[in-house]
């Protein structure tokens, strides 16, 4: 599958099978994530891999009231360490969120390639997650990604891709 086909297939899956994700598939996803670029190659991300029932329960408690995440057998919480992130000298902008977004999409594309569904969740109680998993003070949970087999493999094709046209998203000078 080429990159364009992969991007067309990837979508937010909100119906998961409870079937476990194989260790080799998780290893593949983590290796693809590890290779993600970051500002000045600082690599400020940290990944919290959650598979235990106790850990999954903590994440369920942190996410807005949605039942659909509960069957997902695996979660990766993309975190970033503000002490290790690059700050732009001109204005001090912290590129942690940019770097976290890049690695999150690497995770989602790798999972899609492996036949797994994902959904990037940003609506959650980040301080609760940081406390529940004893994260260091400079580490911020940025996104929670449930990963698992779609309850129906047809969900990839059935999920509509509604995107603006190229003309709507570019500035041409």
Q: Which CATH superfamily is domain 3-157 in?
A: NADH Oxidase (3.40.109.10)
Residue 117 has pLDDT above 80, yes or no: yes
From the number of C-beta atoms within 10 Å of its C-beta (0-12, 13-18, 19+), residue 50 rates as buried
CB atoms closer than 10 angstroms to residue 106: 20
DSSP character string of 18-38: -PPPPHHHHHHHHHHHHT---
Three-state DSSP class for residue 12 = strand
Rounded to whole angstroms, the Cα distance separating 135 from 132 reads: 8
Residue 160: per-residue pLDDT: 75
Could you give phi then psi for residue 146, rounded to 5 degrees? -70, 140
Residue 65 has pLDDT above 80, yes or no: no
Q: How much is the average pLDDT of 27-56?
A: 97
Nearest to 120 by CA among 72, 57, 53: 72
Mean pLDDT of the chain: 94
Against a cut of 0.85, is the pTM above it? yes
DSSP label of 107:
H
Residue 148: per-residue pLDDT: 97
Look up tokens 């029932």; give the residue. 53
Residue 34: per-residue pLDDT: 98
């Amino acid at each position: 599958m080429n990159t364009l086909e992969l991007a067309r297939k990837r979508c937010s899956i909100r119906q998961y099978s409870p079937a476990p994700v194989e260790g080799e598939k998780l290893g593949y996803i983590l290796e693809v994530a590890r290779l993600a670029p970051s500002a000045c190659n600082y690599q400020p991300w940290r990944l919290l891999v959650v598979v235990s029932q106790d850990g999954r329960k903590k994440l369920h408690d942190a996410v807005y009231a949605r039942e659909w995440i509960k069957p997902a057998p695996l979660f990766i919480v993309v975190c970033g360490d503000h002490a290790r992130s690059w700050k732009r000298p001109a204005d001090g902008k912290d590129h942690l969120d940019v770097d976290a977004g890049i690695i999150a999409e690497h995770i989602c594309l790798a999972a899609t390639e492996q036949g797994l569904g994902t959904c990037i969740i940003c609506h959650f109680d980040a301080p609760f997650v940081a406390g529940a998993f004893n994260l260091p003070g400079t580490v911020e949970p940025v996104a929670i990604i449930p990963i698992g087999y779609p309850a129906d493999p047809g969900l990839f094709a059935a999920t509509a891709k509604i995107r603006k046209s190229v003309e709507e998203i570019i500035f041409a000078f």
